[in-house]
Each structure stands twice: as structure tokens, then as C-alpha cells.
Amino acid sequence: MTHPLGGPAPGLPEARGGTGFERIPRGLRAGRQPGVARIALPRCLGYTDRNERAKNRRRMGGMRTRMPAGFTAFREYPMSSTFDTVANIIAETCDIPRDKITPESHAIDDLGIDSLDFLDIAFAIDKAFGIKLPLEQWTQEVNDGKATTEQYFVLGNLCTRIDSLVAAKGA
């Protein structure tokens, strides 16, 4: 995974010289890879084993998606991909530790991102997803009391809106 502004995203395998897509040796899988934070999720939260993933691929017409090595064991939700990209942008742009950035984080209240730094984030998001975040419209809605900042600046909500904008672009 490469950061949209250039260079590998910190903490991901290619930041240490790999491509991010190489096969992980068995002994390094599932959380044993140094420098990559892994959380073992139970099946009910989305964990799938190799057989299930192969079955899913067959069901989806043989489509095979290649994910960075650190993410191969997880079901590939579009949302998680969007969140990872956004979180990496925020981590790099604002020098915030990646592990402090969660879908529940409020960009302003929790992460302390000010409006000027958010312009850099918006720039990177616009570029990464080929969209234009409607910041002026959002700001107007918040100022008019028609929306709360949580609806736009809690990262999970932001990612949902990004996904909608990407979908609208492709429609």
C-alpha cells in the first residue's frame, strides 16, 4: 500500500522494503510479523480462513483480490479499505500515531486536527479517491444547525461519505 502523497504508508510491510504483496512465510502469519499490529478477530467479526476465502472467490467468479500482506487474513470490506487509506493519510499528514486513529475517532475533538491541517487531509483524500469532499456544504450545514460535526468528522462516518461519493462518481 502506497500513501497517496507518495512513499509507503508507515508501519506497512513495504515501508520495510517489501512490495506489500509478497506471500508471508507461515511462521510470520497472524500477528507474528514484527512491526505490524495484528488483532486476532473471531469468525463472527469477519475472520475467514484460507478455505473460506477460496470458496468465496469461487462464488464471486474467480475474482482474486490482492491485499497487502498485513491484511490478508481479514474479509475485505470496502469500508476497511477506505478507512485504512484515510487513517494513513491522517497519520502521515498530522503526525498522529496510526494506532490512535480509529473509526470512532472524531477528527477535530479526538485527534485535534485543525481546519488548516484538514485542508491537507482533504487534498490527499480528494486525490486518493478521485472525488471532491464537499467541505463548504458540510460546514454550512453544521453552521446552520442542520448537521453535527460527528456526522462528517467521525472517521467511520467520513469514510461512509467517501464511499458514497466514490459510488456516485462511478454511477
Partner 1 sequence: MRLEYFQLIDRIVALDLDARTIAVDAQVPETSTIFEGHFPGHPLMPGVLLIEAMAQTCGWLLIGLNGFSRMPFLAAVKEAKLRTFVTPGQALSIAGSLVHDGSGFAMAHASVRCDGKAVCEADITFRIVPFPDPSFRTGMEDFARKIGFPLEAIAHG
Residues forming the site for partner 1 (CB under 8 A)? 116, 119-120, 122-123, 126-127, 132-137, 139
Q: How far is the CB of 135 from partner 1 (least distance, A)?
A: 4
Q: How far is the CB of 131 from partner 1 (least distance, A)?
A: 10
Nearest to partner 1 of 43, 127 (CB atom): 127
Nearest to partner 1 of 15, 128 (CB atom): 128
Report residue 3 CA to chain centroid gap: 11
Query: Under a CB-based contact definition with an 8 Å cutoff, are residues 120 and 106 in contact?
Result: no
* CA distances in angstroms from 50 to 47, 55, 65, 87, 89, listed in the order given: 10, 9, 13, 27, 30
Q: How far is the CB of 88 from partner 1 (least distance, A)?
A: 19
Residue 75's φ and ψ, nearest 5 degrees, are -60, 145
Angle at 121 between CA 119 and CA 127, to 5 degrees: 100
Nearest to partner 1 of 12, 93 (CB atom): 93
Nearest to partner 1 of 86, 133 (CB atom): 133
